[in-house]
Amino acid sequence: MLRRRFHFREILLQRQPSRQKCGEHMNLTAMMNTWTLQKGVPLVTVSRKGSHLLLRQERFLKAVLPSDPVWATLQHGYLWHIPLTFKTSTSSTVHRHLMVTKTDSVYVGEEVRWVKVNTDMAGYYLVHYEDGGWDQLTHLLRENHTALSYQDRTHLIHNAFQLVVTGKLSMGEALDLISYLPLETHTVPLLEGLGFLEAYYKMLEKRTDHDLTLKLRTHILRFFRGVIDQQTWSDQGSVSERHLRSEVLSLACDLGHAPCLQVANQSFADWLRSKGTLSLPTDLTETIYSVGAQDDQGWEALLHTYTVSHSETHKHKILSAMGSSRDTSKLNRLLELALKGKVIRHQDLSTLVYMVARNPQGQRLAWDFVKKNWGMLVQKFQLGSFCIRSLIVSTTAQFSSPEELADMQSFFKSIEEQASQLRATQVALDNVEKNVMWMQRNLGALRDWLNTHTQLFMLSLLQTSVFRSSSAHQASTTSPHPTGGASSSGTADLSFPWSRQRLPKYIVPLHYHLQLHPNLTALSVTGSVRIQIEVKSDTNWVVLHSKGLQISNATLLDHKLAHLSDQVLPVLHHPGHEQVAVFCPMVLSSGQKYFLQLQFGAELTEVFNGFYKSSYKTGSGQTRLLASTHFEPTSARKAFPCFDEPSFKANYTISIRRSPEHIALSNMPIEKTVRLKVDLMEDHFATSVKMSTYLVAFVVCDFRSVSATTSSGVQVSIYAAPEKMEQTHYALEVAIKTLDFYEKYFNIYYPLPKQDLIAIPDFESGAMENWGLITYRETSLLYDPLTSSATDKLWVTMVIAHELAHQWFGNLVTMVWWNDLWLNEGFARYMEYIAVEAMYPELRVEEYLLHTYFAAVARDSLNSSRPISSPAENPTEIEEMFDTVSYDKGACVLHMLRHFLTDEVFQSGIVRYLHKFSYSNAHNQDLWDSLANVRDIIFTFVHIPSHDLGLSHQSNAQHERHTLDSKA
């Protein structure tokens, strides 16, 4: 085999003599800029001409057809450097080819019958096969589907149905491709095929074409009858098998499959009789609850259980079930409860609205709810936040008629000033335009196919053995503009000295001494901050960030802490830019260091960012208050005046006053605690390492903790409300293992003496990577063996791995500006897969990496997508950077790059990157420069046999373990 692979490469290089020469001049920057500086995902079209594959690339677009006038404009200038991989019928070798032009060709030989491009979905591109290529692959799946890996089978299914949307493949061809699925035994391709059919059914269910809806429902139940019937109502089997069982039985009940409904109804009745004490299979609890929620008694019982449950994971399942009710009055009641925020927390509002919107009976209710309450929602959730974006996109996701599209356009017109600031509005419109186009192009084809194939399918069932019993998700270029207003304290003759959104660079913070006193009775906070600054050019002004703070006193001191002026220093405000400017009569000299001292006060915020209040209820019904922070990306300025940009890294020395019944936590350990009064304590924390403002954190609460120590001596603690401590043990195990793994993988010790992970009752995001004090939504940290499913366990594992990856990617090395957020989030998303696969192979996390690919393509194939690296200046634009592109596409591009470079080169490169830029900031270019030498890349790509490149899952894991072991 080795000789044959080498011989093929010799032939390839002989037939394409210019390829190696081009390679010598290729550089990684040029290649990766095509993936990070332009939006979209490429489509590679493959055809055959004799012994060669003919290749051409274009931008893959949904909702725009080649016949549309704008097609040529939207395609102009797009070119990717694509590291192609492919397999053929004549060899199991993974062949490689770097495509850097619009059209290209590759030698494969005359004897090749079929070719599968993008092996194991390692590359971020779609593939279309012309000249009968799809027919050959359809035949292969029917005759010998295991000739392809499960990733390749899933990739074919996904690409086929994506191409249906664009008209490059007919509905019939895509449905014929998945006709092999009764032979499939792997969860991922099964659920991928089933997922497209389910999506079509959901769109049809709310239409008046009941005959077509019934035919599709009947087809799904008949087609997947084998896999449905083999499922047990238990938690037995592998994680993959349990995931399949959960999805299949949920859909079967939703489609009205009588045997499933009978078991679910009986299980729910037994649960009712036990007054909620009966343990249900955790993977199927939500399905059983959903069936039971369809009558009044069941729905009310679930609402009561929701109010008394101490497991947020369990409550999430209950909400989902209640949101599946076909009774619109109950759905409206749910929405009103969420709006009030007492029974259902505001943090869950966007999730609940999504749950209602995916219900055919609730879709219109959810959209009308968003329109009616838009003003309150924007006040509660910051414009550009995940919640606002989710409310827009999720409530309209299944709209598919011109009337619904017109309604959206009308509403966005009515909120034009806000809508124009949100990319999410155009994403939602593009998505619905795609759905409308799908309906217009494919509804008739789907009907014809169902009519033709129903009888053929019934016949094939009699002839086919179905399922085996073992079968089983850059800097701104804007010119200065008019200045802001002056404050009222003797500053009428001064104008705001700075007109840009981003802070000037002539003042650099070095060290913050921050003292805070949050009052959980008055829900207010007072504080003072002394910031050591270094002046880069002569000035009379210090400009920094502040939002919603009442600054009562400003003082400038020299390096000996002597006052520079006896006068009250004027403080000017620019609310539009969330900036304040302190004027000093004496010139601050370049090269000198000074101290800026500010006293301030504020209210604990009611929203989920800044320094905000939270609460929880004890088992006896008492309400307990706490105060927590969430600063990323631009909310540290709401808690204390600061230079709130990622490149302004500094050290922090923090002290917090609290009552004796509370504890205070921050990034660093407590050095000492001083009793100021009988009822007032002050905790002094150790000075932090250099870090950005958005990573500062503090919490005042009455939580308890469990702790353990990593192999390198880092104390890890999990904090939660006292009555939830039994749900913290799994998180502690995962955190310890993950920190140990990352220290070995990155070859850099975790730099702090402790790492706290805390479950906050009110939390908008999944988690936040504050250095040394990671805050989590309870569902992302707490694991209850009695109510958490296999999927819940995987989610907790992955979120912990994601946030701990940030301690290196994001915290130790931070992007210079938010336009390169993907350097934080893309890496953390990808490293969570690498870490979990190595530590918990039984969780089969590589299967979920495919869903990351699907999510990225779904967003990136819309014209409203954006490049990975995109301009972002104001807080709303920055908030919108936290999206599928930064996270999922970023991870997919890194996955492709890792396969291109090999595991060893990739790991060595990122270790060099982390070492070189520790405690500082980096650009895209810094990553490319660290990753590899050009000559090494080309030598690896052209000359190393593919079996040495870790292309399969098994060899990947083995190679990774060898690398880690050799470092130990």
CB atoms within 10 A of CB 412: 18
pLDDT at residue 10, as a whole number: 32
**Measured between alpha carbons, how far is residue 340 from residues 40, 243, 465 in Å?**
40, 34, 54
Is the link from the previous residue into 660 a cis peptide, with omega within 30 of 0? no
Clarify whether residues 716 and 857 are in a common domain: no
Share of the chain above pLDDT 70, in %: 90
Instruction: Indicate which CATH number applies to the domain containing 713.
Output: 1.10.390.10
Residue 23 · residue 98 · CB < 8 Å:
yes
Residue 408 · residue 377 · CB < 8 Å:
no
Clarify whether residues 904 and 802 are in a common domain: no
CA distance 968 to 77: 48
CA distance 318 to 285: 9
Long-range contacts, stretch 341-347, CB < 8 angstroms, 24+ apart: 343/303, 343/306, 343/307, 344/306, 344/319, 345/761, 345/762, 346/380, 346/608, 346/762, 347/608, 347/762, 347/763, 347/764, 347/777
Q: Which of 742, 773, 808 is the last residue of a domain?
A: 808
Q: Is residue 873 part of a domain?
A: yes
Q: Which of 800, 828, 698 is nearest to 739 (CA)?
A: 800
- Supply the mean pLDDT for the chain: 90
The confidence band for 209, taking pLDDT boundaries of 50, 70 and 90, is confident
Flag whether pLDDT at 657 surpasses 80.
Answer: yes
Q: Is 316 annotated to bind ligand?
A: no
pLDDT at residue 933, as a whole number: 59
Share of the chain above pLDDT 90, in %: 86
Clarify whether residues 551 and 436 are in a common domain: no
CA distance 490 to 213: 72
CB atoms within 10 A of CB 78: 17
Residue 844 · residue 906 · CB < 8 Å:
no
- Alpha helices by DSSP H, listed for 373-530, are 374-380, 386-395, 402-414, 416-419, 423-463
Clarify whether residues 672 and 725 are in a common domain: no
Clarify whether residues 724 and 770 are in a common domain: yes
Look at the chain and count its residues: 968
Instruction: Indicate which CATH number applies to the domain containing 502.
Output: 2.60.40.1730
Residue 155 · residue 118 · CB < 8 Å:
yes
pLDDT at residue 940, as a whole number: 47
Residue 498 · residue 475 · CB < 8 Å:
no
Q: How many helices (DSSP H) and strands (DSSP E) are in the chain? A: 34, 28
DSSP 357-410: HTSTTTHHHHHHHHHHTHHHHHHHS-TTSHHHHHHHHHHTTT--SHHHHHHHHH
Q: Render pLDDT for 68-114 as a digit per residue (tens, 0 to 9).
A: 899 999 999 999 999 999 999 998 899 999 999 999 999 999 999 99
CA distance 593 to 508: 9
Clarify whether residues 358 and 408 are in a common domain: yes
CA distance 42 to 102: 11
Q: Is residue 31 part of a domain?
A: no
Clarify whether residues 655 and 692 are in a common domain: yes
Q: Is residue 858 part of a domain?
A: yes
pTM of the predicted structure, to 2 decimals? 0.91
Q: Which position has the token pair 């014209």?
A: 863
Clarify whether residues 845 and 944 are in a common domain: yes
Q: Listing from the earlier edge strand, what are the strands of the sheet with 52-60?
A: 103-107, 52-60, 41-49, 126-129
CB atoms within 10 A of CB 459: 10
Question: How many Cα atoms sit within 13 Å of 828 on the Cβ side?
Answer: 29
Clarify whether residues 666 and 786 are in a common domain: no
pLDDT at residue 252, as a whole number: 98
CA distance 134 to 141: 11
Lowest mean pLDDT among 147-151, 329-333, 490-494: 490-494
Tokens encoding 794: 């995987």
Q: Which of 687, 702, 717 is the last residue of a domain?
A: 702
**Measured between alpha carbons, how far is residue 896 from residues 9, 311, 913 in Å?**
21, 38, 18
The confidence band for 2, taking pLDDT boundaries of 50, 70 and 90, is very low
Domain carrying residue 413: 327-441
Residue 808 · residue 794 · CB < 8 Å:
no
Q: Is residue 525 part of a domain?
A: yes
Q: Which of 799, 750, 797, 740 is nearest to 775 (CA)?
A: 799
Q: Is residue 32 part of a domain?
A: no
Q: Is residue 595 part of a domain?
A: yes
Tokens encoding 37: 């500086």
- Provide the angle, in degrees to the nearest 10, between the axes of the packed helices 349-357 and 328-340: 170
Residue 902 · residue 940 · CB < 8 Å:
yes
Residue type, 567: Q
Flag whether pLDDT at 343 surpasses 70.
Answer: yes
Q: Is residue 185 part of a domain?
A: no
Q: Longest C-alpha distance within the chain, in Å?
A: 96
The active-site residue, picked from 803, 832, 837, 879, is: 803
What's the per-residue H, E or C state across 542-572? EEEECCCCEEEEEEEECCCCCECCCCCCCEE
Q: Render pLDDT for 863-901 as a digit per residue (tens, 0 to 9).
A: 999 999 999 999 999 999 999 999 999 999 999 999 999
Q: Render pLDDT for 412-460 as a digit per residue (tens, 0 to 9).
A: 999 999 999 999 999 999 999 999 999 999 999 999 999 887 655 444 4
Q: Which of 386, 413, 441 is the last residue of a domain?
A: 441
Flag whether pLDDT at 48 surpasses 80.
Answer: yes
Flag whether pLDDT at 473 surpasses 50.
Answer: no
Q: Is 959 annotated to bind ligand?
A: no
Clarify whether residues 657 and 748 are in a common domain: no
The domain tally of the chain equals 4
Return the higher-pLDDT residue of 676 and 6: 676
Clarify whether residues 713 and 633 are in a common domain: no
Q: Render pLDDT for 604-638 as a digit per residue (tens, 0 to 9).
A: 999 999 999 999 999 889 999 999 999 999 999 99
Flag whether pLDDT at 16 surpasses 50.
Answer: no
Clarify whether residues 671 and 582 are in a common domain: yes
DSSP 485: P
Q: Is 802 annotated to bind ligand?
A: yes
Residue type, 916: K
Q: Render pLDDT for 683-719 as a digit per residue (tens, 0 to 9).
A: 999 999 999 999 999 999 999 999 999 999 999 999 9
DSSP 154-178: HHHHHHHHHHHHHTSS-HHHHHHHG
CA distance 780 to 519: 28
pLDDT at residue 455, as a whole number: 55
CA distance 119 to 148: 9
CA distance 202 to 213: 9
Q: Is residue 657 part of a domain?
A: yes
Q: Name, in order, each residue with C-beta under 8 angstroms of 77's C-beta and a sequence gap of 6 or more.
A: 38
**Measured between alpha carbons, how far is residue 367 from residues 311, 343, 386, 584, 738 in Å?**
29, 22, 17, 53, 41
Flag whether pLDDT at 554 surpasses 70.
Answer: yes
Flag whether pLDDT at 956 surpasses 50.
Answer: no
Residue 312 is a catalytic residue: no
